[in-house]
Amino acid sequence: MLQLFQKKRMWRKSPLKRHYDVIIVGAGVHGLATAYYLGKLGITNVAVLDKGYIGGGASARSTAILRANYLTSQGIPFFRESLKLYGDLAQELDYNMLFTRSGRFDLGHTESAVFGLRMRSQFNQMHGVDSRLIGPDEIKKLIPVLDIRQGKHLPVMAALYHPPGGVIRHDAVVWGYARGADRMGTEIHPFTEVIGIKKNDNKIIGVETTHGFISAGSVVSATAGWSSTVAALADVNLPIVTHPLQAFVTEPLKPYIDATISSANLHVYAYQTDRGEVVIGGGVNHYPSYSQRSTLDMLETLSGHVLELLPALRDVNVMRQWAGLCDMTPDYAPIMGKVDGLDDFFISCGWGTWGFKAAPIAGKCMAEMIFTGRVPELIQPFSLSRFREGKLVNERASAPAGAIH
Ligand SMILES: Cc1cc2nc3c(=O)[nH]c(=O)nc-3n(C[C@H](O)[C@H](O)[C@H](O)COP(=O)(O)OP(=O)(O)OC[C@H]3O[C@@H](n4cnc5c(N)ncnc54)[C@H](O)[C@@H]3O)c2cc1C
């Protein structure tokens, strides 16, 4: 009788082998997407290892906003391609991901902010991304609940409107990629921590784990907030500082706002989920830390700021608050590729507060690079060597709700 109600496992439980062609450290959205696209290229003797449960890092804590309205000639095409892949992902993985394209509004409250948004809209259009600057009247028509009264200390003067932006269910993306990779033969091993990386001269030969040594043809680190600690196991120094990022949700309300709004001046963003909860987030904690505990001062700050935009939330209860780790780079752009001077060690990190939306294209490009040995053009600007060569990307539209100052 019990069997009748038991769901089929979404991925298998397999004994850990002593060798794989590729070991991916980190079963977040990036590690699993890379495994999935490797499988599509026929590379399936692959293990994805995680010290915790699948997607339990930043991926489980993401507010999963998707958009492509970036600023740089390197960032816009990259995120544009990711948004395209997200559009077809539910069908590709045969899994409902609750992707809602409700549109994204980046609000400008000062002359200089509006100048920056106008510049972004022009760069977006040059790269084929649907985004345009709109004024208060049109904003009010599209988001009636937004307080656009002039005369406040930060009035809404304009918005960068990006209709294809939206939100997706973060867990569903992680599970969909895990199931897709598993179906092609990839093994997923939660609760298997990598505690050492073994090298022979300049070649990586495998990883030491809490369940013993495993040899590998290639090792990929997709460990986001823990990237520096994992790279250090191979004596690689990354230009990454880990900061916590927090968010919270209100009790469910009837449909109230059908858009994602973000304000760089107020350091806050918000949207309503299909379940009715309003999700509210902002910028990273200003101090580096590996703590995944939320704080009262951030709840108070974000609440005060969101009420300036959505005053109707005044008497609404907060249900949950949480924090996750963000691997911040000095130029707000990711790092993808091989580590110079070290054979068969690949990294995908620097995903900061913006990495969920990048997973499909990053996973696809990482898989292609491991398979062909060549770096796909789309990710060439994001090499680790750019820091040595002085070719920083400066993607200031990565974290518009609050960069580190
Ligand atoms: C509150 C919050 C809101 C966010 N909102 C957005 C958003 O709206 N849009 C967006 O695009 N991005 C957002 N982000 C960022 C995004 O969630 C991350 O960039 C993305 O999920 C990173 O995915 P990942 O797979 O690289 O890392 P993770 O999901 O963190 O996975 C890394 C995994 O590595 C494992 N690991 C670490 N060390 C080891 C080890 N030694 N051995 C084995 N396993 C190890 C960890 O357990 C973890 O599961 C947000 C992040 C947070 C915290």
Using 50, 70 and 90 to split pLDDT, how confident is the model at 322? very high
Task: Look at residue 321 and tell me whether its pLDDT is greater than 60.
Answer: yes
Choosing from 48, 82, 356, 361 the residue with most ligand 1 atoms within 8 A of its CB, the one to mutate for a pocket test is: 356
| CA–CA distance, 306 with 15 (Å, rounded to integer) | 49
pTM of the model: 0.97
Tell me if 324 CB under 6 Å of ligand 1. Answer: yes
Using 50, 70 and 90 to split pLDDT, how confident is the model at 403? very low
Tell me if 39 CB under 6 Å of ligand 1. Answer: no
pLDDT digits (tens, 9 = 90+) for 347-371: 999 999 999 999 999 999 999 999 9
Mean pLDDT rounded to a whole number for the chain: 95
| CA–CA distance, 243 with 57 (Å, rounded to integer) | 13
Using 50, 70 and 90 to split pLDDT, how confident is the model at 404? very low
Q: Which of 283, 279, 309 is nearest to 298 (CA)?
A: 283
Quick one: average pLDDT of 170-186?
98
C-beta of residue 369 within 8 angstroms of C-beta of residue 348:
no
Tell me if 131 CB under 6 Å of ligand 1. Answer: no
Task: Look at residue 4 and tell me whether its pLDDT is greater than 80.
Answer: no
Tell me if 226 CB under 6 Å of ligand 1. Answer: yes
Q: DSSP letters along 308-350, please?
A: HH-GGGTTPPEEEEEEEEEEE-TTS--EEEEPTTSBTEEEEE-
The class (CATH top level) of 101-164+242-328 is alpha beta
Atom number of ligand 1 nearest to Cα 225: 30
**pLDDT at residue 405, rounded to an integer:** 33
Where along the chain do its domains lie?
101-164+242-328
Tell me if 400 CB under 6 Å of ligand 1. Answer: no
**pLDDT at residue 279, rounded to an integer:** 98
| CA–CA distance, 59 with 335 (Å, rounded to integer) | 17
> Residue 244's beta-bridge partner residues?
325
**pLDDT at residue 309, rounded to an integer:** 97
**pLDDT at residue 402, rounded to an integer:** 55
Task: Look at residue 65 and tell me whether its pLDDT is greater than 90.
Answer: yes
Burial, 111: exposed, middle or buried (Cβ in 10 Å; 0-12, 13-18, 19+)? Answer: exposed
Q: What is the DSSP letter of 395?
A: -
Atom number of ligand 1 nearest to Cα 324: 53
Rg of the Cα atoms in the chain: 21
Task: Look at residue 6 and tell me whether its pLDDT is greater than 70.
Answer: no
C-beta of residue 178 within 8 angstroms of C-beta of residue 188:
yes
pLDDT digits (tens, 9 = 90+) for 280-293: 999 999 999 999 99
pLDDT digits (tens, 9 = 90+) for 132-170: 999 999 999 999 999 999 888 899 999 999 999 999 999
CA 244 – ligand 1 centroid, Å: 11
Tell me if 25 CB under 6 Å of ligand 1. Answer: yes
**Token code pair at residue 188:** 């997923």
Tell me if 70 CB under 6 Å of ligand 1. Answer: no
Tell me if 225 CB under 6 Å of ligand 1. Answer: yes
